[in-house]
Amino acid sequence: MAEEYLSGDFTACVRREFPALAHKAYLDSACIGVAPLRAVRAVTDLVQGMQYCPAESGTAMHGRLNELRALTRPLAARLIGAQTSDIALTESATHGLKIALESLPLGAGDEVLIPDLEFIQMGVMWRQLKDRGITVRTVPHDEAGRIGVDAARAELTREVKVLALSSVQWTNGFRADLAALSELCRKRDVWLVVDAAQHLGALPLDVRRTPVDILVCGGHKWLCAPFGTGFLYLNPEARPRLRRPLAGFFAARPPARTWGEAFLRPDLTPVQDYEFSEDAYAWETGGTGNYPGAVGLSAALSLLLELGPQHIEDHLRALTDHVTGGLDRLGLTVVSPREPRHRSGIVTFTTGRPTADVALMGALLAAGVAVSVRFTSGVGGVRVSCHLYNTLADLDALLAATADWQRRPRSGGRPGAPTPPRRSAAAQIVRQRALIDALDDDLMGLITARGGVSRGIRRSRLEGAMSRTDLAREREIVERFHHRLGQDGTRLALELLRMCKGDT
């Protein structure tokens, strides 16, 4: 299995999209994912294009930006087996949860259940409903760190109106039995709200087979998208029973074909009745959106769909098998579940002492292996996040650095000695070289893009019966480079002009 999914087209695509990770063991996607090259270029192209305002007017440009943002919804829908009309774009999982809290028809005396292993944000947000007379209770985990269906069932009293949980828990990677929980909630008429921030991008999820009422997901973890992105799924059967939050005019239907055309009508007034769609986008903020983030999320989603969610899960299964076996051989305790149906891309292990876990994390970071330490309700340890861009070599680096830390002498009952300066410096050089490689790749991409634009200008000049070259413009470019970089800038500008002329 490992060899099958660490070779071929899958690996070639991953290497092409994540060049900066070729020499870096990044195992912290549960905190922040790494953006693929296509997402970086999508954001860069959009932002750079804004300085030219390529549309004929600001109004046309704003409309174009809204159209680009809207292209993200169908990709998010495909990822979870939903319809485009079921998707609203958000800034984060937190933003999606905020919309859920504002939309659910809850009142005084109602109760909300969350697992006691939940990400702190889940508790922080639901707890704020206390002023409305709404109580939050927890479902306890068992001795293996699992949140069982029977445990949830035992807590479902008549007052419970919402079961809210992460489909994958952030500390130990426990993957909930969403199908069974969904069936349980439907029988009890309980709202099922799911935070899939540690799930989507790493594991498949199909809302047609596993119905949920509301699902939220941030973009910057396993989806590998820029910060300030995410999406919200609203079950079409649930939407008629939800309150629609206050929103801006982009969430309403324009009184003309487009809002740009509506602005031209002399009868347009700010105070009138506006019609809102029943589609999920009516739950969006309805103002100017995070357009760079949206195109970045769209590009990242396109990569996940291209690779295939099932292939990604198979790849992660091979990686987690490998690291779990290695940790067992080192005599460390794997906290994460081992049953296939409860596994995820997260493998958490512990030395048996939280202080030693933190010390080990420091040694791993110094060795160039990025991991985290997380605890909730007494469950946790060193958290290893295996994602699509990771390889067996990354995990071997983790295991080797961990074994090295175990061999170091202890003094006074304290964890191993600090990493020697030479080793720390070597690890830093590896990280810096990875950054150089990424920057070089960006430079080559920009030079290629510049050549394409330059050749387009030359064709336009020929079609307009103008001279092939504008010498005044070339002098302007050389002077600008010289002003910023001196004589080296002059030489660089001349070489760029030569490379980008091409054949017309």
Query: What is the 3 state secondary structure string of 28-56?
Result: ECCCCCCCCHHHHHHHHHHHHHHCCCCCC
* Confidence at 502, pLDDT banded by 50, 70, 90: low
Mean pLDDT score of the chain, rounded to an integer?
90
pLDDT-derived band at 119, boundaries 50, 70, 90:
very high
Tell me the two tokens of residue 39. Answer: 């997402």
Q: Is the pLDDT of residue 72 over 50?
A: yes
Q: Which of 176, 278, 186, 272 is nearest to 234 (CA)?
A: 278
Q: What is the pLDDT of residue 3?
A: 42
| Residue 418: predicted pLDDT | 55
> pLDDT digits over 134-145, tens only?
999 999 999 888
Cα distances (angstroms) measured from residue 30 to each of 46, 50, 164, 439: 28, 33, 20, 25
Is residue 411 predicted with pLDDT exceeding 70?
Answer: no
402-417: average pLDDT: 71
Model-level pTM greater than 0.75?
A: yes
CATH 1.20.59.10 fits 423-501, yes or no: yes
Helix (H, G, I), strand (E, B) or coil at 409: coil
DSSP states of 272-291: S---B-SSGGGGS--SS--H
The span from the CA of 370 to the CA of 199, in Å, is 20
State both tokens at 181. Answer: 């929980």
Query: What's the mean pLDDT in 5-27?
Result: 81
Task: Count CA within 13 A, CB hemisphere, residue 194.
Answer: 28
Mean pLDDT of 268-297: 91
Average pLDDT over residues 255-275: 88
Read off φ and ψ for residue 329, nearest 5 degrees. -65, -25
The answer to which of 86-90, 223-227, 457-461 has the lowest mean pLDDT is: 457-461
In this predicted structure, the answer to whether residue 201 has a pLDDT above a threshold of 70 is yes
Where do runs of H (alpha helix) occur along 367-470? Answer: 392-407, 421-463
**Which of the residue ranges 21-35, 178-192, 450-464 would you say has the lowest mean pLDDT?**
450-464
Q: Could you state, in order of their start, the residue ranges of all structural domains in the chain? A: 2-30+308-419, 423-501
Residue 1 has pLDDT above 50, yes or no: no
Cα–Cα distance for residue pair 30/160, rounded to 1 Å = 30
- Residue 65: CB partners within 8 Å, gap ≥ 6? 289, 291
Closest CA to 102 of 289, 288, 283, 249: 283
Query: Which of 170-174, 192-196, 213-217, 429-433 has the least mean pLDDT?
Result: 429-433
Would you say residue 244 has pLDDT above 80? yes
In 10 A of CB 83, how many CB atoms?
16
What's the rounded mean pLDDT across residues 186-204?
Answer: 97
Q: What angle do CA 487, 493, 496 make, to 5 degrees?
A: 145
Please determine, for residue 8, whether its predicted confidence score (pLDDT) is greater than 80: no
Residue 157 has pLDDT above 80, yes or no: yes
| CA separation for the pair 61, 54 (Å, rounded) | 7
Provide mean pLDDT across the span 2-14: 66
Asked if pLDDT for residue 420 goes beyond 70, the answer is no
Residue 441, pLDDT score: 77
Confidence (pLDDT) at 431:
66
When pLDDT is cut at 50, 70 and 90, the band that residue 4 belongs to is very low
Contact predicate 172/336, CB 8 Å = yes
Which pLDDT band, with edges at 50, 70 and 90, does 294 fall under? very high
**Tell me, which fold does domain 2-30+308-419 have in CATH?**
Aspartate Aminotransferase, domain 1 (3.90.1150)
- In three-state secondary structure terms, 426 is helix
Determine contact, residues 337/172, Cβ cutoff 8 Å: yes
